[in-house]
Amino acid sequence: MAISEESTATLVSSAMPRDYFDLLKPRVMALVVFTAFVGLYVAPGNLSPALSFIAVLAIAIGAGASGALNMWYDADIDAVMGRTAERPIPSGRVSAQETLTFALILSIFSVATLGVLINWLSAALLAFTIFFYAVVYTMWLKRWTPQNIVIGGAAGAIPPVIGWTSVTGTFALEPFILFLIIFLWTPPHFWALALFKSADYGRAGVPMMPNVAGNASTQRQIFIYSVLLALSGMLPFVLGYNGPAYAAAAAILGGVFVWRAWEVNLMDPQDTKMIKAKQLFGYSIVYLFALFAVLLAERVVMDLM
C-alpha cells in the first residue's frame, strides 16, 4: 500500500539547505563574523591568514549553532510572534528534532575545530557562549525576567573576545572593552524593538521590559544605556588603543545614538506608531557596524604607516 501524498508530507522532509542556513540566524552571524574579526585583527601577535579564517568561521558556526538551539527551544514562542512566525520550525519547513541534531553537531564541531586548530581557551569561550545563549538566556532568563536581554547580551558580546584569544591565547583589557561596548549596546537595541513589538511579546508571554515595567520606564532605561554606550564607545581612544579619527567617529556616532534615544525618551508612552523607536532600532545596527568598522579601519591604517 502506498502512503498517500498528504501523509508523506509529515514523514518526508522537503527542507532545502537554505532552511537549515536560516536556522543559524544569518544576520546575527554577520555581526558575529565582523566583531570576531575585529577582535582578531587588533590583537597583538600573528595568526596566519588560513588560521584566522578558520577561527572566524568556527566562531561564526558556533554562534549560528546557538541560534539554532534558540529556535529549537523557542519554537512555541516564535510561532505566535509576527516577526518570527516564518522561521523554519514554526513554518513547518524543518522539524524540531532535526534542528536540535543540526545545532548540536555544529556546536561540537565548531568548538572542537577551534580547540584543535587554534587554542583551547578560545574553544572553551565558544562553548561557554553557546551554553550561555542556549541555556542561560533562552531556557532560563528569556521567559523569566525583563533583564533577559541585558544579561543574555553577554553571549552576543563575547565573539570579539574569542577573536582576540584566538591570536594571543590569553585575556586582556582591550577585548573586554569591545565586549563592554556590545554588552551596553544590546539593551537599547532590543528594547527599541520591544517597544514597537510589545503586543507580539505580550501575546507570547515573554516578559520584555515594556510589558513588565511599561513603555515610559523602558524609554528612560534606553536613554540611560545609550549614554553609557556612547561613553564606552570612547574608551578605545581614552585607553590609547585608537587615535583621533576613531575618537571623532565614536563621538559623532555615539552623539547621534544618544540624541535618538532622547527622542525615544520624549515619545508619548501611548504612542502606537513608535516611529522614533523604529528609527533608533535601525540606527543601532548601523551604529555598531560603523563603530567597529572605524575602529578596524584606523588600526589598519596605523599598521600600514
Interface ranges with other proteins (CB under 8 A):
1-3, 5, 8, 11-17, 20, 48, 50-51, 54, 57, 109, 113, 117
**Can you read off the three cell numbers belonging to residue 114?**
577551534
Cβ distance to other proteins smaller for residue 57 or 213: 57
Of 93 and 299, CB closest to other proteins: 93
Nearest residue (CB) to other proteins, 87 versus 142: 87
- For residue 305, the minimal CB distance to other proteins (Å) is 28
**Residue 6 neighbours by CB under 8 Å, 6+ apart:** none
> Could you tell me the CA-to-CA distances from 172 to 144, 179, 187 in Å, in that order?
33, 11, 25
How far is Cα 258 from Cα 249, in angstroms, rounded to an integer?
14
Least distance CB 18 / other proteins (angstroms): 9
Residue number with CB closer to other proteins (55 or 195): 55
Geometric angle at alpha carbon 30, from 131 and 281, rounded to 5°: 95
What is the smallest separation between the CB atom of 23 and other proteins, expressed in angstroms? 13
Q: Which is nearer to other proteins, 6 or 303 (CB)?
A: 6
List Cβ<8 Å contacts ≥24 apart for 258-261.
258/223, 258/226, 258/227, 258/230, 260/226, 261/188, 261/222, 261/223, 261/225, 261/226, 261/227
**Shorter beta-carbon distance to other proteins: residue 93 or 260:** 93
- CA distance readout (Å), 249 to 64, 70, 144, 237, 243: 30, 35, 38, 11, 10
Shortest Å, Cβ 109 to other proteins: 7
The CB-of-52 to other proteins minimum distance in angstroms stands at 9
Q: State in angstroms the smallest separation of the CB of 134 from other proteins.
A: 21
**In the complex, minimum distance from the CB of residue 159 to other proteins, in angstroms, rounded to a whole number:** 19
Nearest-10 crossing angle of helices 215-232, 173-196: 150
SS3 47: coil
Nearest to 39 by CA among 131, 224, 171: 171
Q: Residues 291, 276, 81, 199: is their CA dihedral positive or negative?
A: positive
Q: For residues 112 and 285, which CB has a smaller minimum distance to other proteins in the complex?
A: 112
